[in-house]
Copies of this chain bind each other. A is one copy, B any other.
Amino acid sequence: MRATSERNIVLTGFMGSGKTSVGKLIAEKTGRAFVDTDDLIEQRAGKSIPRIFEEEGETAFRDLETEAVQRAARTHARVIATGGGAVMRPQNREALRKTGDVIFLDAEPEILLRRIQNDGTRPLLQTENPLERARALLKERRPVYLQADMTIQTDRLTEEEAADAVLEALQTGARRVHVNLGERSYAIHIGRGTLSRLPELLDFAPKGAKIAVCANAHIQRLYGAALADSLNAAGYDAWTADLPDGERHKTLQAAADLYDQFVENRMGRDSFVAALGGGVAGDVAGFAAATYMRGVPLIQIPTSLIAQVDSSVGGKTAVDHPKGKNLIGAFHQPKLVAIDVDTLKTLPAREYAAGIAEVMRYGVIASEGLFHTLETRMEDILRRDALLMTEIAAECCAIKARIVEQDERESGLRATLNYGHTFGHALETVTGYKRFLHGEAVGVGMVCAAEMSAARGLVGREFCDRHRALLHSAGLPSTMPSGVDPTAMVDAMKMDKKAVVSSRGVQLRFIISRKIGSAEIRGDFTEEEARAAIEAAKR
């Protein structure tokens, strides 16, 4: 996956993603030769691609394309732009990856269409509603595109910037994901050494601004004090604010203690709160930032795997109530998320593994490619390979960003992120939040969800088996403890925020997957089916 001078740089993506123009710029910047597989096809066939489609049909075109891709993949040190559909055939992907680093240039369908709107030669878009067609095509192809070595989001980039982003990603492995929420948009920076790059990433914060680096004592020792020093050296007025250590301190009292420290340190409306650490830091410091002076700017600097791939992105902040997790909270989008994968090295093994369950959840609901990566590269994941974890975190963040963009306040789609969580939360509740880490409970919860789908015949046995096998390979629990009372768990589910309370009682909502890489929200499963699934997960 490293870009050496010998390996090709292969650009993939939908039409309009800029493969050709960005590719030519990269070729120029690196002094490489540029190859467009579409050109190879036209040369070989002696006619234009629209004519090939028209006279010989798509299958013939795809055969020609495979031949061209294989030919291109036999070269070295080139920049290769591929046709929009080229990577759909597995043998094409294999060939390209052997000799090159494959980079997916991602963009929203609206932006893609705007870029190609005056090009009459695009065969697949000669339809009545091109946007709908583009969306459908992208939905189908994106999971395959995302199997690229790297994904660069180009929505807000010029061609020049996109070319630079590709080269930067190849050189450093650093990645950037944008969360597009209008005025509340922000960037997620992922890679090695992101912590030390924080002063430069904070270019939007005026020098002299106060920054409260909020972390527990352990994280302050490891990273917080050094971070505050480097921020101060860069001209900021950073100081360290103390958070208690541990999930059981995710309380309103912890937020109140932060308010006290903020007041004492004269934090104003334009001061920044940096939440440094795992999910608890992000949640408590995030909630305090959301509510101090009715909201001050927040920077998320997650150091645990679970926070890096999930809780730091999307603006959810909360503290627990004795009667329910996350019952008190607010939506407050960060101004920046800075993910340093090197911090994963200092995580206890059990906590790290728990984070893998959340990654797996993304695989199930949104990316068969990611699920496959987990199945095939668990060893590298467990030794916390920095480049691989950068890729994985970037993909998880990109999936979450896309979902949050469509449903910021969880009125629908965003709920699919709760796959395994309805069962998981209930399992945490009935075991008193002592026996399982959150991610571990979510892992077992996913097995329950899979078993519930299987009992309905929505998926086969192998679907459940893949769940269990993957959890097992990560060293995570994959079965429900035999002592757990299914009725108690279902009762706990009814207090979940996701349950719909109406005059007819409480209706449970479940996230169900019928195929790795997709999920849906269902309200048609009964309490009895849920109890049966919990029993089935015990075996």
Residues of chain A whose beta carbon lies under 8 Å from any beta carbon of chain B? 206-208, 210, 237, 252, 256, 259-260, 263-264, 266, 268-271, 287, 290-295, 316-318, 321, 323-324, 326-331, 409, 495, 497, 499-504
Across the two chains, which residue of chain B brings its CB closest to A271?
B501
Q: How far is the CB of A430 from chain B (nearest CB, A)?
A: 17
Across the two chains, which residue of chain B brings its CB closest to A504?
B208
Q: Which residues of B contact A409 (CB under 8 A)?
A: 294-295
Across the two chains, which residue of chain B brings its CB closest to A290?
B330
Shortest Cβ-Cβ A-B pairs, 8 listed:
A208-B503, A268-B501, A294-B329, A263-B323, A293-B497, A291-B328, A291-B330, A208-B502
Q: Which residues of B contact A271 (CB under 8 A)?
A: 501
Q: Which residues of B contact A328 (CB under 8 A)?
A: 259, 291-292
**Of B256, B260, B293, B327, which is within 8 A of A329 by CB?**
B293
Across the two chains, which residue of chain B brings its CB closest to A410?
B294
Q: Given A259-B321, A294-B316, are A500 and B268 also a contact pair (CB < 8 Å)? A: yes
A270 lies within 8 A of B327 (CB): no
A-side interface mostly? mixed
Q: Which residues of B contact A316 (CB under 8 A)?
A: 294
Q: How far is the CB of A236 from chain B (nearest CB, A)?
A: 9
Extra inter-chain contacts (17) besides given A292-B328, A293-B327, CB under 8 Å? A208-B502, A208-B504, A252-B252, A259-B321, A260-B323, A263-B321, A266-B501, A268-B501, A290-B330, A291-B328, A291-B330, A292-B327, A294-B316, A294-B329, A294-B330, A294-B331, A295-B331
Across the two chains, which residue of chain B brings its CB closest to A324?
B263
**Of B252, B260, B331, which is within 8 A of A256 by CB?**
B252
A495 to B328, CA, bound (A): 27
A264 to B207, CA, bound (A): 47
Q: Given A237-B503, A270-B500, A501-B210, are A327 and B290 also a contact pair (CB < 8 Å)? A: no
Chain B CB within 10 Å, residue with most, of A268, A294, A318, A503: A294
Q: How far is the CB of A54 from chain B (nearest CB, A)?
A: 46
A259 to B253, CA, bound (A): 14
Across the two chains, which residue of chain B brings its CB closest to A495?
B266
Across the two chains, which residue of chain B brings its CB closest to A501?
B268
Q: How far is the CB of A288 from chain B (nearest CB, A)?
A: 9
A-B contact list, 10 entries, CB within 8 Å: A206-B502, A208-B502, A208-B503, A263-B323, A263-B327, A268-B500, A271-B501, A290-B330, A294-B329, A294-B409
Q: Which residues of B contact A237 (CB under 8 A)?
A: 503
A204 to B260, CA, bound (A): 40
Q: Which residues of B contact A208 (CB under 8 A)?
A: 502-504
A327 lies within 8 A of B259 (CB): yes
A119 to B497, CA, bound (A): 54
Across the two chains, which residue of chain B brings its CB closest to A267?
B501
Q: How far is the CB of A253 from chain B (nearest CB, A)?
A: 9
A292 to B499, CA, bound (A): 15
Q: Which residues of B contact A318 (CB under 8 A)?
A: 294
Q: How far is the CB of A358 from chain B (nearest CB, A)?
A: 20
A317 to B495, CA, bound (A): 26
Across the two chains, which residue of chain B brings its CB closest to A319?
B291
Across the two chains, which residue of chain B brings its CB closest to A503?
B208
A329 to B259, CA, bound (A): 11
Q: Which residues of B contact A270 (CB under 8 A)?
A: 500-501
Q: How far is the CB of A231 from chain B (nearest CB, A)?
A: 13
Q: How far is the CB of A257 from chain B (nearest CB, A)?
A: 11
Q: Which residues of B contact A327 (CB under 8 A)?
A: 259, 263, 292-293
Q: How far is the CB of A205 from chain B (nearest CB, A)?
A: 12
Across the two chains, which residue of chain B brings its CB closest to A497?
B293
Q: How far is the CB of A136 from chain B (nearest CB, A)?
A: 27
A291 to B503, CA, bound (A): 24
